[in-house]
Amino acid sequence: MSRVTSVELEEEDVEYIERLMREGRVRSLKEFVEMCVKFGRQYTLDRWQKGLFDIGPVRIVFLPKKALDLLIERVEQEDHRDLGREMGEVIKSFALFQFQTDTTKDWDSALEIMSNFGWGQFSATDRDYIQIVSPALPSSLMKSYVESVLNVKLEPIQMKIDVQVFRILKD
């Protein structure tokens, strides 16, 4: 069952949504609201406190990309593999706790969860390749991160654009 309701929106919010529709990013106000509600429920935005964002026992921190780059610069190249693997274990635990999802079995959900955390836009092609558009971290780190989350072995493919592509190695 669904319910029809009305809400009064500020003019600048209406203009924002109308711009998204003109750009083809959403088809309608209804679609936009449904996306917001789904995201809000999934990530417990009802518990949002200014500056504090917790999803279950996980604290989420918004960080400028430049600050993240400065932190990563301080991590030795030889530590990228271990750091990526540990980050992957955190995401696997989060997916299991928050969504009851085993990321090694449900790749669609795993890729969506990883994308929602802002590390890049993750996608897979026929279980042959993993692609990350606009990756937030170096390839060496992202490789072990994805390997850990999906429980696969990857081989990096060199790209000259801001995209990382990994071939999934078969056993």
Q: Between residues 137 and 161, which one has the greater pLDDT?
A: 137
What Cα–Cα distance (Å) separates residue 123 from each residue in 39, 72, 92, 134?
Answer: 19, 24, 17, 12
CA atoms lying within 13 Å on the CB side of residue 114: 34
- Contact (CB, 8 A) for 150 and 144: no
* CA distance between the termini of the chain: 47
Q: Between residues 147 and 170, which one has the greater pLDDT?
A: 147
At residue 64 the predicted structure's pLDDT band, cuts being 50, 70 and 90, is confident
Distance from chain centroid for Cα 64: 16
Read out DSSP for 68-136?
A: HHHHHHTS-GGGHHHHHHHHHHHHHHHHHHHH---TTT-HHHHHHHHHHTTS-EEEEETTTEEEEES-S
Average pLDDT, the chain: 90
pLDDT at 43: 73
Structural domain boundaries in the chain: 11-59, 63-169
Q: What is this structure's pTM?
A: 0.75
Q: Which residues pair with 122 in a beta bridge?
A: 132
Distance from chain centroid for Cα 97: 16
